[in-house]
Amino acid sequence: MPDTPVIRSARAEDAGAIDGVIRAAFAATAHGYQGEADLVRMIEADGDALVSLVADAGGAIAGHVLFSRMYGEADGAALSAAGLAPVAVSPDRQGRGIGDALIRAGLDALRDRGVAMSFVLGHAAYYPRFGYSPELGARFASPFAGPHFMAMMLDSGAAWPQGGRADYAPAFGRLGQDL
Ligand SMILES: CC(C)(COP(=O)(O)OP(=O)(O)OC[C@H]1O[C@@H](n2cnc3c(N)ncnc32)[C@H](O)[C@@H]1OP(=O)(O)O)[C@@H](O)C(=O)NCCC(=O)NCCS
C-alpha cells in the first residue's frame, strides 16, 4: 500500500508533527488531552527518553511512541526498564495496525539496547498481546500499582524478578504542575 507507514526513529525536526499527533489522538479519547505532548518534551529535556519512534507515512507523521527510562530496583539490583508512554496514532489512521507496529518496533529497539524490562500503565485488553503481564507488574511497588500496571521481560525466556520497585521518570510526577 502506498501509504503504509515506515517506522523510524524520531528526529528533531519531527517535534511539531509529533506534538500534533499526540494532541489529536488524546483529544479524541474519553479523558481528553491531558498534557501528553508536554510530557514527551519534558522526558526528552531530562534525558530520560530511551526510544522514540514515529510512523512516517510518506513524510506525514501518523503515529508516535515513547519509551522512557525507569528507576527502581529488581531483586535488589538497579532496575533496567523502560516505560511505554505515551503511544498515539492519528485518529483518522487508528485501527490499522500502526500502534501495534510502533510498540513492537520499540520493544525490539529496547532489546537491542539490552534493556531488561518494560512497564506500561494501560488497558488490560490491549497490552498483553505484546507480552505485558499484570501478574509481573504486581510484583513491583509503584505509585501506579493496580490492574492496569503491567510489565514484561524483554527476553521472554528470562526469569521473572521476585519483586522490586518501579518508578517512572521524574517528568511524570511533574505532569499537571508545569503545564
Ligand atoms: C491506542 C492507540 C495508540 C492504538 O493505535 P492503533 O493504530 O489504533 O492500534 P492498532 O490498529 O495497532 O490496534 C488496534 C487495537 O487496539 C485496540 N485499542 C485501541 N485503543 C484502545 C483502548 N483505548 N483500549 C483498549 N483497546 C484499544 C483496538 O480495540 C484494537 O483491538 P483489536 O486488534 O483486538 O481489534 C490509538 O488508538 C490511540 O492513539 N489512542 C489514543 C491515545 C491513547 O489512548 N494511547 C494509549 C495510552 S498511552
Q: pLDDT digit string (tens) for 59-107?
A: 999 999 999 999 999 999 999 999 999 999 999 999 999 999 999 999 9
Quick count: other Cβ atoms within 10 Å of Cβ 133?
A: 15
SS3 letters across the chain: CCCCCEEEECCHHHHHHHHHHHHHHHHCCCCCCCCHHHHHHHHHHCCCEEEEEEEEECCEEEEEEEEEECEEEECCEECCEEEEEEEEECHHHCCCCHHHHHHHHHHHHHHHCCCCEEEEECCCCCHHHHCCEHHHHCCEECCCCCCCEEEEECCCCCCCCCCEEEECCHHHHHCCCCC
| pLDDT score at 3 | 64
Q: What is the pTM of this model?
A: 0.94
Assigned CATH topology for domain 6-174: Aminopeptidase (3.40.630)
Band (pLDDT 50/70/90 cuts) for residue 176 is low
Q: Is the pLDDT of residue 178 over 70?
A: no
Q: Point out the ligand 1 atom lying closest to the alpha carbon of residue 36.
A: 48
| pLDDT score at 179 | 40
Rounded-to-integer distance, Cα 38 and Cα 86, Å: 11
Rounded-to-integer distance, Cα 52 and Cα 9, Å: 6
Q: What is the mean pLDDT of the segment spanning 9-26?
A: 97
Domain boundaries, the chain: 6-174
Q: Is the pLDDT of residue 1 over 60?
A: no
Quote the mean pLDDT of the chain.
Answer: 95
95 CA to centre of ligand 1 in angstroms:
7
Using CB distances shorter than 6 Å, the residues near ligand 1 are 25-26, 29, 85-89, 94-100, 122-123, 125-126
| pLDDT score at 4 | 86
Rounded-to-integer distance, Cα 110 and Cα 40, Å: 18
105, 7 contact by CB (below 8 A): yes
The larger pLDDT score, comparing residue 42 to residue 147, is at 42
Q: Is the pLDDT of residue 38 over 90?
A: yes
Q: Which of 43, 89, 93, 102 to mutate to test the pocket of ligand 1 (most atoms within 8 A of CB)?
A: 89
Q: Point out the ligand 1 atom lying closest to the alpha carbon of residue 28.
A: 41
Q: Which of 21, 54, 94, 172 to mutate to test the pocket of ligand 1 (most atoms within 8 A of CB)?
A: 94
C-alpha cell at 107: 520493544
